Amino acid sequence: DTGVSQDPRHKITKRGQNVTFRCDPISEHNRLYWYRQTLGQGPEFLTYFQNEAQLEKSRLLSDRFSAERPKGSFSTLEIQRTEQGDSAMYLCASSLVRNSQINYGYTFGSGTRLTVV
């Protein structure tokens, strides 16, 4: 297993365009998380999935943001009508939860850096 993969590594887009990012978690991990990290800040939680179910969404996840994990494997994060304030690093992480046991380990990907011009 090569860990958590994110694609693309970098994305430059014009304001108003739609963008989509992909995350491939560690194969046996059932939970997948999206975070946003702006320059000089720590990551901010956006949302997470257990298998294909989206269980929690942050208030940061505006209506222009949508995330899916259709088959409980990879996930996509789409931003519609991008704004300059969306420029950030988007991080994906995954973890394994068994029998409702609270997990405490997350494996992060290297992120997708979005620049909106």
SS3 label, residue 63: coil
Residues of this chain, 5-24, that bind another protein according to CB under 8 A: none
Q: Which is nearer to another protein, 3 or 16 (CB)?
A: 3
Helices (H) and strands (E) in the chain, counts: 0, 11
25 binds another protein (CB under 8 A): no
Closest CA to 54 of 32, 25, 81: 32
Q: Which is nearer to another protein, 2 or 14 (CB)?
A: 2
Closest CA to 91 of 67, 75, 110, 72: 110
105 binds another protein (CB under 8 A): yes
Using CB under 8 A, list all residues that contact another protein.
31, 33, 35, 40-45, 48, 55-56, 58, 89, 91, 93, 100, 102-111
